[in-house]
């Protein structure tokens, strides 16, 4: 297979697409507006790489089973590079709550339920250097794409290359992997072609701070009763272990929680919040770790689905969008990189299997809908459920109200399933198949044993199951009062 392909964006999705297409025999050129990573290891990349093109570059990442297995199956030497850079492999057994672990018996498929944990800066640097060593791939850095070129002689909108300021790069196929800030929809609109999109606000913001264990200090035990990730109802939090003793903490709050938003945006108050959460407190104590960054936020969080097939026809020929440029889910769920990698490899298969530009576009859209739409819909449903739950907490209620039996059953079933996941290994195993995107969302509920277990948990009642969802920590009023007192003390100090 031969052909010249241009990819806009050399982030994780664009790099993944280049590998997939290179393996199919294509000549690939990536255009990246940012400069390449600096020489050195993970710290140099994290602190010194000016990576404006990736908004979540310094926010926490956990690379799910879908992406990890894709790399392990197709690029085992790349996985070796990640491991050499210090990336941590977390197996299924390590994800089981400590009090259940003694009951664990391995089953076939458990080896696919694993996560790679590492700073995004390290992962992207290693991936990029791996791509740079491959034949038939060229990365042009520090070059902004300013538009695309079309065939003026074609009745259809046929993309033939990219505009790079005063120069033009011609290609047989153009792929947009430029992420959430893609400019392609605007360029299409300027030509009279509106790209239809679905867009839903998650109504949250999240903030991150990075830390590093002090020299000679072992990381806190993971076998205690308190979890380093959870939901307080009004606030979600998570700790992400990274390479070389680095770790990061994310705190997510509803956009309507103005006081909490201000607090987590302040480094000292961010730490004060962590010190008041039992699952985080052992990690952020002064004798355990040092902060390596201030707290910094991420907002404008939407679920987005762009439609490049309209009225059963492609908007443009020889053009494709992958990853966040096409489909975006709430980054809180950690699905973006895995979806992007899957999407990129799916596209490579489609391009290689059919020479017809029209059929390629239609097939890619159909396969995207079949394989990724269920994940998108599940993520959107989770967003809407979280919005209702946080509103209930702000109103002083444990659970949101449900009118009618159908809605009551759905909410009660969800609460019971969340409780069963915490207490039953076989339910956790099934749930993690969905979590790791190894099956369509909810497929594990086709297992009769899992369904019957969840029904049994429903008999415990909604309040007990909903309470199991909330981890140990201060309630909303206690947290707000504590932050007010902390601020007053700091003012008088």
- The pLDDT of residue 289 is above 90: yes
pLDDT tens, position by position, 356-405: 999 999 999 999 999 999 999 999 999 998 898 888 888 877 655 667 88
Using pLDDT thresholds of 50, 70 and 90, give the confidence band for residue 493. Answer: very low
- Kind of pairing between the strands at 196-201 and 302-307: antiparallel
CA dihedral 441, 76, 1, 312 (to 10 degrees): 10
Same structural domain, 9 and 151: yes
pLDDT of the residue at 224: 77
DSSP-based three-state secondary structure for 216: coil
For residue 95, tell me if it sits in a domain: no
User: How far is the C-alpha of 111 from the C-alpha of 429, rounded, in Å?
Assistant: 11
| One domain, residues 150 and 171 | yes
Q: What is the pLDDT of residue 489?
A: 53
**Cα 235 versus chain centre, distance:** 19
pLDDT at 275 over 70: yes
The residue length of the chain stands at 493
Q: Give the pLDDT band (50/70/90) at residue 304.
A: very high
Q: Looking at the structure, do residues 234 and 334 belong to the same domain, yes or no?
A: no
- One-letter-per-residue 3-state SS of 319-343: EEECHHHCEECCHHHCCHHHHHHHH
Q: In angstroms, rounded to a whole number, what is the distance separating the alpha carbons of residues 27 and 7?
A: 11
Residue with tokens 């307080």: 232
Q: To the nearest whole percent, how much of the chain has pLDDT over 70?
A: 97
Provide the domain limits for residue 257.
203-298
Per-residue confidence (pLDDT) for residue 388, from 0 to 100: 87
Last residue of a domain, one of 250, 280, 298: 298
* pLDDT band, very low/low/confident/very high, at 284 (cuts 50, 70, 90): very high
The pLDDT value recorded for residue 399 is 58
pLDDT > 90: percent of the chain: 82
Residue 466 domain flag: no
- Structure-model confidence comparison of residues 420 and 484, the more confident one: 420
If asked whether residues 42 and 139 sit together in one domain, one would say: yes
Torsion angle, CA of 427/432/433/435, rounded to 10 degrees?
Answer: 130
334-359 pLDDT, tens digit each = 999 999 999 999 999 999 999 999 99
Compute CA distances 144 → 37, 163, 165, whole Å.
17, 9, 8
Evaluate whether residue 289 is within a structural domain. Answer: yes
Chain segment 142-187, per-residue pLDDT in tens: 999 999 999 998 889 999 999 999 999 999 999 999 999 999 999 9
pLDDT tens per residue across span 52-106:
988 889 999 889 999 999 999 999 999 999 999 999 999 999 999 888 999 999 9
Residue 433 to residue 428: CA distance in whole angstroms:
9
Same domain, 176 and 259: no
CATH number at residue 217: 3.30.70
Position 437 in a domain? no
Residue 478: inside a domain: no
Instruction: List the one residue out of 345, 350, 342, 351 whose CA is nearest residue 373.
Output: 342
Per-residue confidence (pLDDT) for residue 426, from 0 to 100: 97
- Provide the edge-to-edge strand list for the sheet that holds 196-201: 196-201, 302-307, 327-328
Q: What is the model's pTM?
A: 0.94
Within-domain flag for 86: no
Structure tokens, 211: 């830390």
Structure tokens belonging to residue 33: 């507006």
Say if CB 96 and CB 151 are below 8 A apart.
no
Please tell me whether residues 165 and 31 are part of one structural domain: yes
Looking at the fold, whether 32 and 126 belong to one and the same domain comes out as yes
Q: What is the pLDDT of residue 488?
A: 62
* Cα separation, 206 vs 354, whole angstroms: 42
SS3 3: coil
Q: How many domains does the chain have?
A: 2
**Which residues, in sequence order, are bridge partners of residue 230?**
237
88-90 β-sheet, strand order? 62-63, 115-117, 88-90
The answer to whether the Cα torsion of 348, 352, 358, 363 is positive or negative is: negative
Residue 109 has pLDDT above 80, yes or no: yes
Give the domain CATH number at 350: 3.50.50.60
- 28 and 57 belong to one structural domain: yes
Are both 188 and 144 inside the same structural domain?
yes
Determine, yes or no, domain membership for 125. Answer: yes
181 and 234 inside one domain: no
Strands 289-291 and 296-298 come out as unpaired
Which pLDDT does position 238 carry in this prediction? 96
How confident is residue 484, by pLDDT bands cut at 50, 70 and 90? confident
Looking at the structure, do residues 250 and 292 belong to the same domain, yes or no?
A: yes
Distances (CA, A) of 368 to 284, 307, 320, 374: 42, 11, 11, 10
Please classify residue 199 by burial: count the beta carbons closer than 10 Å to its beta carbon, then call 0-12 exposed, 13-18 middle and 19+ buried: exposed
Give pLDDT, residue 491: 55
| Other beta carbons less than 10 A from residue 353's beta carbon | 12
Expressed in percent and rounded to 5, the helix, strand and coil fractions of the chain are 45, 20, 35
Domain's final residue, options 260, 278, 298? 298
Q: Last residue of a domain, which of 298, 324, 352?
A: 298
Does 401 map to a domain? no
DSSP annotation string for 111-153: GG--EEE--HHHHHHHHHHHHHTSTTEEEEES----EEEE-TT
190, 220: one domain:
no
């Amino acid at each position: 297979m031969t052909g010249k392909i241009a990819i806009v964006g050399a982030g994780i999705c664009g790099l993944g697409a280049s590998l997939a297409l290179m393996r199919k025999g294509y000549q690939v050129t990536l255009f990246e507006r940012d400069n390449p990573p600096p020489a050195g290891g993970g710290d140099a990349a994290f602190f010194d790489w000016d990576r404006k093109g990736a908004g979540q570059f310094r926010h926490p990442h956990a690379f799910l089973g879908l992406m990890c297995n894709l790399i392990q199956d197709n690029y085992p030497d790349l996985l070796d590079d990640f491991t050499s850079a210090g990336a941590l492999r977390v197996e299924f057994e390590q994800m089981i709550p400590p009090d259940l672990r003694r009951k664990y018996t391995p089953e076939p498929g458990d080896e696919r339920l694993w996560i790679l944990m590492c700073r995004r800066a390290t992962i992207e640097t290693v991936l990029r250097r791996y791509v740079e060593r491959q034949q038939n791939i060229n990365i042009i850095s520090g070059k902004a794409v300013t538009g695309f070129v079309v065939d003026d002689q074609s009745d259809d909108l046929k993309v033939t290359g990219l505009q790079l300021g005063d120069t033009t790069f011609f290609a047989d196929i153009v792929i947009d992997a430029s992420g959430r800030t893609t400019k392609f929809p605007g360029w299409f609109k300027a030509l009279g072609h509106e790209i239809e999109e679905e867009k839903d606000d998650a109504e949250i913001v999240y903030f991150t701070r990075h830390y590093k264990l002090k020299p000679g200090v072992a990381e806190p035990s993971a076998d205690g009763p308190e979890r380093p990730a959870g939901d307080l109802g009004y606030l979600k939090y998570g700790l992400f272990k990274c390479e070389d003793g680095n770790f990061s903490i994310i705190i997510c709050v509803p956009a309507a929680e103005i006081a909490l938003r201000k607090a987590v945006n302040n480094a000292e108050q961010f730490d004060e919040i962590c010190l008041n959460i039992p699952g985080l407190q052992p990690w952020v104590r002064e004798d355990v770790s040092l902060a390596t960054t201030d707290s910094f936020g991420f907002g404008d969080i939407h679920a987005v689905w762009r439609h490049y097939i309209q009225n059963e026809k492609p908007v443009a020929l020889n053009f494709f969008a992958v990853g966040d440029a096409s489909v975006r889910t709430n980054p809180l769920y950690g699905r973006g990189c895995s979806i992007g990698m899957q999407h990129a490899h799916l596209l490579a298969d489609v391009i290689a299997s059919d020479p017809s530009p029209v059929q390629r576009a239609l097939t890619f859209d159909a396969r995207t809908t079949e394989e990724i739409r269920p994940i998108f819909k599940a993520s959107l449903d989770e967003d809407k459920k979280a919005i209702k739950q946080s509103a209930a907490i702000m109103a002083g209620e444990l659970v949101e109200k449900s009118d009618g039996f159908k809605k009551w059953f759905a909410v009660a079933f969800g609460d019971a399933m969340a409780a069963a996941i915490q207490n039953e290994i076989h339910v956790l195993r099934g749930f993690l198949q969905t979590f790791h995107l190894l099956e369509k969302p909810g497929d594990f509920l086709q297992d009769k044993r899992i369904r019957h277990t969840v029904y049994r948990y429903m008999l415990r009642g909604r309040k007990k199951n909903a309470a199991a969802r909330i981890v140990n920590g201060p309630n909303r009023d206690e947290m707000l009062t504590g932050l007010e007192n902390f601020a007053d003390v700091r003012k008088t100090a």
